Amino acid sequence: MLRTISLSLFLILVSSCEKDEVLSPAFYACDDSLSNSLHPNSEQYSNLIQNIVNSGVPGMMLSVHDNENGYWSKAFGFADLASKIPLASCNITRVGSTVKTFTAVTILLLQEEGLLDIDDPITDYLSNADIRGLENASQSSIRQLLLHSSGIYNYIQNPQFQTASLNDLIKIWQPEELMSYARNKDSYFPPGTDVLYSNTNYILLGMIIEKVTGKAFFEVFKTKIFVPLGLSYTQFAATDPVPDGIIRGYVDLYSNLNLTNATYYSGWDYFTADGGLISNSYDLAIFMTQLFQGNLLSKESLNEMMSWKAPKGGYGDGFETFYGLGIFLIETAYGPAYLHSGDAVGYFASMVYFPEQEITISWAVNGNYGKVDEFTQSKEAMEKIFDTVLAE
């Protein structure tokens, strides 16, 4: 999930917390046989994670795939600081908005089945009650939701939502409660004229999936993606919001690496298709590899997914970035890369595919905000990871 909540407000509300519970190693036990220690670059990849964790990151898992050597995964640091449980690459974690790529793939698969057309107006599938008060919704197409080109207001940016969320950090939000913070708000631009990230788009896409299938959107994910790809570590939060075995998440409130446990905070995406995915770097690597090597969508659908559009406002001080359908293209020193990242309070994950090298890199950490972000999700941190994997 794209972070827009004020860190200063968050800091005030969670500056005091109860002592962490202590859990047994059995709580986090899983089949940790993913490392592929025979990979020729295993040592340098391991050193990379170790160095990042030694900077003060609670724990990090990294997965890499190339066609010659297959999958490699490793983790260092802790799954649980209070219990001193080492992190394993098979552990599960929150991966936030990486789910948007799963949502987009599901919509494109439904199009392949003839159940919808992404150029249809969303009013063909959603009722007036569904879209009431959402400026631009009645003029927007499914494609524009996927591309973030609808201009529909992002509910997370509403200061009233941020205050309500932070005043009750363990509240479990229902979809309509979230949507209420986008209703009766001005749109950002007319549909199709620009691109701007909005989580509201992906709540609506989840609703469309449910309308055309008659099933919960996350059950459709399971049937069409999780099971066919063998993503055995992947589930959706709606079925179990804080499942046994999920690693603890931490926030660096004061940018001094004095971490606060945030595992149970901010359950606003447990029932919507804009976040809420639980997985690990290994399953994310499988998903990205199979997707962009043509083993999930048809060639035509994959080409539609990669119909890139540049934001008129530029891309800030990060990578040059272009929007696709549930995916982004970034320009790197190693050529183009297809990327989606995800943020939840206490967690961050990113999945990247380099088409010229046919290499996938994914990583997940159980910490964010403050200095943790500098080491794990800044442009400089990402370049360090890319250099380690891709440099000759």
pLDDT tens string 56-94: 999 999 999 999 999 999 999 999 999 999 999 999 999
Judged by DSSP in three states, 329 sits in strand
Residue 315's pLDDT band (cuts 50, 70, 90): confident
Amino acid sitting at position 222: K
Give the residue-averaged pLDDT of 162-167.
92
Domains observed in the chain: 7-12+28-390 (3.40.710.10)
Nearest residue to 122 via CA among 205, 242, 16: 205
Residue 4's pLDDT band (cuts 50, 70, 90): very low
b/e map 261-300, b = 16+ CB within 10 Å:
bbbebbbbbbbbbbbbbbbbbbbbbbbbbbbbeeebbeee
Contact indicator for 325, 347 with CB cutoff of 8 Å: no
pLDDT of residue 33: 82
Judge whether residue 8 has pLDDT over 50: no
pLDDT of residue 9: 40
Judge whether residue 278 has pLDDT over 50: yes
pLDDT of residue 227: 98
Give the residue-averaged pLDDT of 203-220.
98
| Token digits of residue 124 | 């063909």
pLDDT of residue 251: 94
Q: Kind and range of the H or E element at 10?
A: helix 7-13
Which residue has 């035509």 as its token pair?
Answer: 300
The strands making up 347-354's β-sheet, listed across from edge to edge, are 85-86, 70-80, 59-66, 359-365, 347-354, 335-344, 328-332, 320-323
Residues sharing a CB contact under 8 Å with residue 194, sequence separation 6 or more, in sequence order: 149, 151, 188, 311, 312, 313
| Token digits of residue 135 | 């400026």
pTM comes to: 0.95
Amino acid sitting at position 87: L
Residue 19's pLDDT band (cuts 50, 70, 90): low
First to last CA, the chain: 33
Give the residue-averaged pLDDT of 123-151.
98
| Token digits of residue 369 | 């905000």
Residues sharing a CB contact under 8 Å with residue 46, sequence separation 6 or more, in sequence order: 74, 76
Residue 332 β-bridge partners: 335
pLDDT of residue 248: 98
